[in-house]
Structure 1
């Protein structure tokens, strides 16, 4: 967590809601990952937080970048990052964006279908391509197991076809789910990757890369182990299946890199009840909700640590936490059994920790007339 961000909030008292991101925490996370997975290349997942301040700090540290759109590629290129340090990792791309990225020197492209592969062949001739495979994502708080990827047999066939289309079949990728709490979840997809390597090698095609995706967690209310445990487990799985002939290894951290760097401060707008029953929980409405940047509270899967900004003595009570908009879906936590002090008052401020990832980017532009989430980078 960032003491500097809390100090900034206490000394500056900016208007709420606002997010403060400590760039030193981002740097420490990057260095921790490179120390514990020293054989891997770090491609920061830009979608987690594309702030120029973050991209600039990581670019100076030598990071590479996983991008989802032409817009993200432009943002990375603006910091002098060459195209060879950029992966176009979205498996759903416009043909015009593929052609533009190729012209900028981007050589590495993801796909998971025959149609996408053919687009890449037509608009990025000679590019390196890698196929994303389906993963169950057990143990992840935010699974990613439906929209992206194909079964391993299809991946092998498509990579073989890539060679006939003039592309370079480069490797396999997968993602074990965001906020993955089980360090062993990389083992099975790594075994699938090795099987695809072997199958293609038998037909004369040598794959060179395994993209392990992201999944490394931020420190929310649920317990997590350190990055050391993830590095050890992943490298054990890699050597178990690939032996001493390790391929190129890529990781795509996003949430892990920036989540814990952010502290969000919000104001209590209203405290109310729905009946006069003493058993009825109080509703605490904040000036930020699901449409203001806290979209990942959907399903109450991501549970942020939330505390009053001032010391409030006395007991706590169960509450429902909700946002300020005129939308019935704008409820943050109903079933997660959050508690707030009985003496919490309207106008008090609360701090929401580990909010550096997927908050500013999820913040609506003008929903209900509320301004986008303001962010400070220190």
Structure 2
């Protein structure tokens, strides 16, 4: 069983508990000061890079305003995210359209709003950009390895192989676009530092081939996201990832000829800012001699915990009785809906106090990313997840 001081100092934890007082569960408490701290840490580790916050992690106006004030750029995956950022008075030159899957009319809309930086990974999408966003900068996303070491892999749906990426960048030039750079994503919650080096080696080969064979000098590398947050298990400090990435870039390009570097953090900035507060609805066993308790809470996959699908993301689960209990037992954690898929953890060995009772609060730590944005609108009639912001 975890102890709360493993994740929070007393003053920080008090913010969450005070915000939780008197509220009906479930709800998410987000401490904006923790996002600010993580952003400043990343800027300090990558002072030459441009930070494009991945909106999908937590698209709240409160988060956008905070990061905009700190100087962040933004990566939008839809025109709806774009509108939200623009409504926060962020200039379009601070926004990239990072989704490679987009309607032609949405490309046109983004261009009319002033967006001039687009991701692509296919000829059809590239032609749409050329038609509806003429003269824009484009970067091609490549497929990279890393799914074995990422807790939330992103390697199959997006990207193309390096040979196709090279051809697309040549076509971009021929279509009147600016072949601007290459991007990749090593998978969300990536635990291996070496994966970035492998991807950057592939990017280096594309840079050299285009320069030597086509006279095309690419200007930018987009390293995507993937930097991990701390969940149930320990992860390497982000400083280790930063040092390895920067060393490879210097070794490959030198200081004077370094391309523009873009980072697209989402999880690593927002995850630690959130605590999802829930209540135990029911505790049961499946037979008289079953030693495993089924603990049903009023929050589940459809109220923001979709990343527990396949038990991929393992959130730290805390109840105040952990501080005094000496007797814990294995539990299955499940949500409140009538969908049988609404089980968060059945295979993973989660232990909760034997003293746990119906009505007790359960706190899901490190839930600041991909919870409110994944929460359903009205499955089984449950309302969207309420979010409370504190400074």
- How far, CA to CA, are the matches of 2:42 and 2:319 in structure 1? 32
Determine the C-alpha separation between the residues in 2 that align with 1:13 and 1:353. 19
- 3-state secondary structure, aligned to 1:325: coil
Matched, 1:163 2:192: no
Tell me whether 1:375 sits opposite 2:384 in the alignment.
no
1:307 aligns with 2:318: yes
CA distance in structure 2 between the partners assigned to 1:267 and 1:77 by the alignment = 37
Q: CA RMSD in A?
A: 1.2
Match of 2:210 in 1: 200
Cα deviations by residue, 1:188-239 (Å, 9 ceiling, x for unpaired): 1111111111111121111000000000111101211212111101101212
Matched, 1:81 2:90: yes
Cross-structure match for 1:227: 238
TM-score (norm 1): 0.97
CA distance in 2, matches of 1:313, 1:218: 28
Per-residue deviation, 1:350: 0.8
* Other-structure match for 2:274: 262
**Equivalent residue number for residue 344 of structure 1:** 356
CA contact (8 A) 1:274 1:280 kept: no
Structure 2 gap ranges (5+):
1-6
Q: Distance in 2 between matches of 1:130 and 1:242?
A: 19
- Report the counterpart of residue 360 of structure 1 in structure 2: 372
Q: What 5-or-longer segments of structure 1 have no aligned partner? A: none
Q: Counterpart of 1:294?
A: 305
Deviation at 1:14, TM superposition (A): 1.4
State whether structure 2 residue 58 is matched by structure 1 residue 46.
no
Checking the alignment, whether the CA contact within 8 Å between 1:5 and 1:263 is kept in structure 2 is: no
What is aligned with 1:126?
A: 135
Secondary structure in 2 aligned to 1:55?
Answer: helix
1:9 to 2:17 alignment: yes
Q: TM-score, normalised by structure 2?
A: 0.94
Alignment check: 8 A CA contact 2:308 2:314 kept: yes
Aligned-residue offset at 1:6: 4.5
Distance (whole Å) between structure 2 residues aligned to residue 221 and residue 70 of structure 1? 35
Mapping 1:139-150, distance limit 5 Å: 139-150=149-160
Aligned partner of 1:65 in structure 2 is 74
Are 1:5 and 1:22, in contact at CA under 8 Å, matched by a contact in 2? Answer: no
Give the secondary structure class of the aligned counterpart of 1:161.
helix
Inter-partner Cα distance in structure 2 for 1:211 and 1:238: 12
**1: distance between equivalents of 2:354 and 2:309?**
26
User: Cα distance, 1:312 vs. partner?
Assistant: 4.6
Q: Which runs of 4+ in 1 moved over 4 A?
A: none
Shift of 1:80: 1.4
Alignment of 1:93-108 (within 5 A): 93-108=102-117
| Other structure's SS at 2:119 match | strand
